[in-house]
Structure 1
Amino acid sequence: MNTRKVVQLFFTTLIIGSLSGTIVGLLLDLDLYTSGSVANLIVGIIWIAGISAAFSLIAQMGFFAYLTLHRFGLGIFKSVKLWNWVQVILIAFVVFDLIYLRYIAFAQEGETIFHYMVMPLALLVYGAIIAYLKAKDTNKGAFIPALFFMVVITSIEWVPALTVNDPKWLWVYFAPLIAANTWQILILHRLQQQ
């Protein structure tokens, strides 16, 4: 992979993350941005696009950190099968933590744990779909690493919004992360083949 392809990956990921976050951010606060003048709408779009661009940069850092981590994992465990089992255990641990730790930290009286299961389980299902597509495009061995990246790395990148627990910011932060991570994991092998 040459420098031109890395730059292409950087800018396309930045654009995809920014657009997805801008769309979700506008939809979540449409009244805020459309009430008032056109200048209010323009400044609002620029602001939410800038925030989304920052989140997509975090996704890119997470992607390159994962590529490094994956190589370390293969080197430390000396076996793809063992490294895959470690990743599966970490996926289960992260999904459990996303449910249970958020529940004990933020649950109010009358709320059940099922309310806190929706987003982590949706992320797991979405991650499995993306991992399936990645494995179908490359090889079966890509499923677990892609699932690990989509669930674990996205969750780590999502931590600042998770600690605030504001539904609006959970989605505004999540949209560029998931869009950028999906793009990166599905396009990388195509860029390497060119």
Structure 2
Amino acid sequence: MTSRNLVKLFRNSLLVGGVTTVIVGLFVRWHELQPFFVDFKIKDIISAILWLLLMGFLYSVISQMGFFAYLTVHRFGLGIFKSASLWNGIQIVLILFGLFDLVYLRYTNFAKTGDSILPYLLPALLLLIVGLAVAWLKSKETNREAFIPALFFMVVATLVEWVPALRINAQNWFYLMLFALMACNAYQLLILHKLNAQSEQERQQRLKQKEGKANNNKKMSKKPSI
């Protein structure tokens, strides 16, 4: 990927994280922000939106770190196991294990006596459904072999990035971080192959321009015939 497209990926990922966090934050924290809007307190509204925007930028940076870490892990996995099918099988096991832990560990650590397991099951289902949708789009735009790695990234990488909110288990932070991470992860995953293709086209264009300049220089350097 060219440096220009790398900067573009970073910048757009920040925007995705910031905008998503602002929108979701206005919903999940509405009970706290409602007085600002009712009383039309402009300064407080702007401060709250800026705070949510900065938190979204932070979530985006965490997402991008996880994305590039996964790209490295994926290459290591292919190199170690020497088989894409075997590595995919291991990723499927890790996906199931991660979803099970998301439900079981949260239920055992935070549920009170008599609480239903359904509220602890819903985030796992949401993450799985979004992961399946993004993985399907990725495989449709690239190839079928991309489905399992994309699903693994959307589920397992998101869980790892989500750990700070999972430990606190505060509902506001819980969903605020989840939606921001899913949005950033999905964006990076779906735009990567497009940016790579664009970078390759830009390199080819630069190469043609250099060849054209070199040919022009050769023609100009030739001595005139008598």
Band of TM-score, shorter chain = over 0.9
Q: In structure 2, what is the Cα distance between the partners aligned to 1:154 and 1:72?
A: 19
How far apart are the structure 1 equivalents of 2:95 and 2:27?
31
Gaps of 5+ in 2: 199-226
- Give 1:32 shift: 2.8
The Cα of 1:109 is off from its aligned counterpart by 1.7
| Alpha-carbon distance in structure 2 between the residues aligned to 1:118 and 1:31 | 22
Partner of 1:144: 148
Say which of 95, 101, 104 aligns to 1:100. Answer: 104
Q: Deviations for 1:131-172, whole angstroms, at most 9, x for unmatched residues?
A: 000000000000000000000000100011011111111111
Count the aligned residue pairs: 194
Higher CA-based Rg: 2
Following superposition, the deviation at residue 100 of structure 1 comes to 0.5
Indicate the SS of the match to 1:173: helix
2:27 is equivalent to residue 16 of structure 1 = no
CA drift at 1:31: 4.4
Q: CA deviation at 1:34?
A: 4.4
Partner amino acid for 1:72? F
Measure, in 2, the Cα distance between the counterparts of 1:41 and 1:184. 30
Aligned partners of 1:49, 1:90: CA distance in 2, in Å? 32
- In the alignment, which of 53, 66, 69 is matched to residue 65 of structure 1? 69
Q: What is the alpha-carbon distance in structure 2 between the residues aligned to residue 52 and residue 124 of structure 1?
A: 22
In structure 2, distance between residues paired with 1:3 and 1:170: 34
Which residue number corresponds to residue 2 of structure 1? 2
Q: Whose relative contact order is higher, 1 or 2, with alpha carbons under 8 Å and at least 6 apart? A: 1
1:164 matched residue in structure 2: 168
SS at match of 1:35: helix
**In the TM superposition, what is the alpha-carbon distance from 1:176 to its structure 2 partner?**
1.3
> Quick one: distance in 2 between partners of 1:31 and 1:92?
35
User: Hey, what's the Cα distance between the residues in 2 that align with 1:32 and 1:97?
Assistant: 31
Give the % identical residues: 48
Amino acid at match of 2:153: F
